[in-house]
Structure 1
Amino acid sequence: MSENRPLVLATNDDVVDELSRLAAAAGCELERVPDVSAARARWLSAPLVLLDPGGVRECHAAHLPRRDRIIVVSPETTDISSLQGALELGAERVVELPVAGAWLSECFADTAEGPSGPPGRVLSVIGGRGGAGASVFAGAVAMAAARAGHSTMLVDCDPMAGGLDLVLGAENEQGLRWPDIRVRSGRVACSSLRAALPSLGGVKLLSGARKGFAPEPDAVTAVVQASKRGGDVVVCDLPRAMSETVAAALDLTDLTVIVVPAELRATTSASRIAERLAERGVTARVLVRGPAPDGLRAQEIADAIDLPLLAWMPYQRGLAVDLEKGRFSERRGPLGAAARLTLEVLGVQHKLRRAS
């Protein structure tokens, strides 16, 4: 459909030919328009707009409104007037051919496979203390999202956790782990990423290795952005240390949850984490996990941490044994109920709910 095609307004035939070649190789169909009058009808609805310097000058002179996802493409360094016009139109990048060919190919691939709906949603999960169960909860939310009909990505950002594939019983699944991922351009094609990763229960898993390998901040940004562009529900399992890698994930996060066991020490530790999050402008919610050996109540713990309470998750008998034996499931019990509630708060709808 024409609504899904990138819009091209270019006066340089060499630029048009190269864009057409790159788009065809990526399986993306372009819509080239002859002038700014034809561009106006698709200006706001096109998923991507590509202009050369001449196209920039035409659109700027016609006072077309600012919009996202404008790329200026030139066979040589652009002049000052076209750069100024590009900024006023809202262009996100100016690239030069043929140097930017690989990057543009990835843009076209992302556009071709992009969903018709809104971008994906990102959840980050942090443990209030070591062993709080954050990794298990992150896995449960990801599995619940996949079961609800969503394309889902689970991203392991904790280098000292031993690998989320072990938590899910997926250590023997074929596919890349973080040490195998090499992000050089700062951008990842979503389709390539999905194809390279192991899958479990409909969840694409980017796990750490059992060697303490920490992903670079740029790599985390590229992976999460790619998944979000593809419409995925993205769940990030974060360590408690506020590293640059953690900051990269938090900057793209829509909802942050701190998992806090119902005990005094965990509450105190979670308070420090909440303070560090607040320094980055992040307001998290608290998920309190049972049992409560001293009778602490969930709301009391949330009040002590000074964060909103997301939910109380009672102790689930048999969960630890199931995890040890590789029988991970979020379908039943308090873990599943808390996972589904978190998806509702994140704004993720159940795609399979209605039947005709």
Structure 2
Amino acid sequence: MTTRILPAAGDADAARALSALLGQLPDAEPAAPLPDSGALLDTLARLAAGSVDELPEVVLVHERIGPVPALDLIREVALRFPAVGVVLLSSDTGPALFSAAMDSGARGLIGLPPSYEELAARVQAAAQWSAGVRRHLGRPADAPGGPGGRVVTVAGAKGGVGTTLAAVQFALAAAAAGRRTVLVDMDLQAGDVGSYLDVQFRRSIADLAGIHDISPRVLQDAVYDDRTGLALLLAPAEGERGEEVDDRAARHVVTALRGRYELVVVDCGTQVTGANAAVVEMADTAALVTTPDVVSVRAAKRMVRMWERLQVRKAEDTVMVVNRWSKHTEIQPSLIEKITKTRVAKTPVPAAFKELQPVVDAGRLQDLDNRSAVKQALWTVAGELGLLAAPADPAGADGPQAALPGRDTAGGGRASGAALAVRAAGPVARLRRGGGDRGSLGPWPRRGREG
């Protein structure tokens, strides 16, 4: 059996040495080393989108990988892609690191510099373990694969641009389309998701920060199931508790959520912290909300450039949502796209504060009228982002699409133009760093399937 090996090493010299050694292994099919954690997770996700059988049997993680620390990266790979055997390469092979690596989900530890014999033995053991897991799964060729739920982050260029409004409406649109959705408030010191939806709950994301093994039961206790159909993981009521949620805790919580929900929508607020930067980095889609004025557009450009410097996300892989737009605005979406180098959503959200004021003041954003131009625009943007994709419903008109704004459910008549636009948007290509078409999903050719 040929063993497909995917190495990840941040150090160029280490990557070359590892590639040379892997090339000597019998029955091995090593891919070119990946330079960072983002590239590794993206590659695995693209491969898993087709079938678990397209994933490599073995992933090698060098201790100097970044920006996600090696043990955190191993934990995320093990949770999202359980049929892959992960092996850590480290100069420290002591019992403490060995125990920590095993707790994170690694299948072996190789000392640096690696010897041929040790590398061959660990790769073979991890490959045999991977093959056993895949036999145990017994997944048929046409069964759905994939890395679990999709993560979408919504951040604001500055305060007051409508970040939480957009995040809430995106989540409501996805839930109305029949997708199992959780909305996470990652604005840790000033989160208002609960206030916008008239929800008070004793638990918050801070209660999960110190838990290393987030079981389904623990997650269920922290998440509030709202009558809108959304699951909510709120920010702590005491802002100072937000410091308990660091980047490692944020990755751990979001990874646990994506294993349980189809869609994870995260309100990241307007400040860059270690926690929300980690979530933006691991997100499938990152949206940045701005308004068409000089101050906000400058803030949006500043945010995008900061993400790039921190190696969180590239500008071209960020979707800009323009809020409070009008055709008379001097700064139009095309100019914002040119200034920020981002991808601007095709549908701008109109300035219509009178529509919003009653429901915002009442803390009942879910009651925004279906005829609202703001709601129709935001739900259309949700369609552009692929958040409304759901399995075809044999029930026809009574399926998830019946809940979209503008639907004439009483008489079975036509939906409004905005609702039709939402439906027409359908699923779009996942906006990933380095993402390509289905013809370039990974370093190996797609394997044929029997039957």
TM-score interval, smaller chain: 0.5 to 0.7
Which residue is 1:3 aligned to? none
Shift of 1:146: 1.2
Residue 289 of structure 1 contacts residue 315 of structure 1 at CA under 8 Å; is this kept in 2?
yes
Which residue is 2:264 aligned to? 234
Which residue is 1:11 aligned to? none
Which residue is 2:350 aligned to? 314
> 1:79, 1:300 → 2: CA distance?
51
> 2:357, 2:123 → 1: CA distance?
55
Which residue is 1:350 aligned to? 390
DSSP-derived class of the 1:155 partner: strand
Change (3 A) 1:88 1:234: farther
When the two structures are superposed, what TM-score results if normalisation uses the length of structure 2?
A: 0.53
Which residue is 2:230 aligned to? 203
Residue 293 of structure 2 contacts residue 331 of structure 2 at CA under 8 Å; is this kept in 1?
yes
The residue correspondences of 1:124-135 to structure 2 (distance < 5 A) are 124-135=153-164
> 1:331, 1:90 → 2: CA distance?
55
Q: Which structure 2 segments of 5+ residues have no match? A: 1-51, 58-80, 88-101, 111-116, 131-142, 397-451
Which residue is 1:146 aligned to? 175
The residue correspondences of 1:72-83 to structure 2 (distance < 5 A) are none
Query: Does 2:300 match 1:270?
Result: yes
Q: How much is the aligned-residue C-alpha RMSD, in angstroms?
A: 3.7
Change (3 A) 1:327 1:347: closer
Correspondent of 1:284 among 303, 309, 318: 318
DSSP-derived class of the 2:306 partner: helix
Residue 154 of structure 2 contacts residue 268 of structure 2 at CA under 8 Å; is this kept in 1?
yes
> 1:242, 1:335 → 2: CA distance?
27
The alignment covers a number of residue pairs equal to 273
Residue 157 of structure 1 contacts residue 239 of structure 1 at CA under 8 Å; is this kept in 2?
yes
Shift of 1:249: 0.4
Change (3 A) 1:195 1:89: same
Which residue is 2:334 aligned to? 299
> 1:71, 1:278 → 2: CA distance?
28
Letter of the 1:121 counterpart:
R
Shift of 1:266: 0.4
The residue correspondences of 1:2-151 to structure 2 (distance < 5 A) are 68-70=83-85, 85-87=121-123, 118=146, 119-151=148-180
Letter of the 1:242 counterpart:
V
> 1:139, 1:223 → 2: CA distance?
19
> 1:68, 1:84 → 2: CA distance?
19
Change (3 A) 1:67 1:87: farther
Letter of the 2:379 counterpart:
A
> 1:78, 1:294 → 2: CA distance?
59
DSSP-derived class of the 1:126 partner: strand
Change (3 A) 1:217 1:298: same
Letter of the 1:338 counterpart:
L
Letter of the 1:286 counterpart:
M
Which residue is 1:156 aligned to? 185
Shift of 1:141: 0.8
Residue 68 of structure 1 contacts residue 90 of structure 1 at CA under 8 Å; is this kept in 2?
no
Shift of 1:327: 1.7
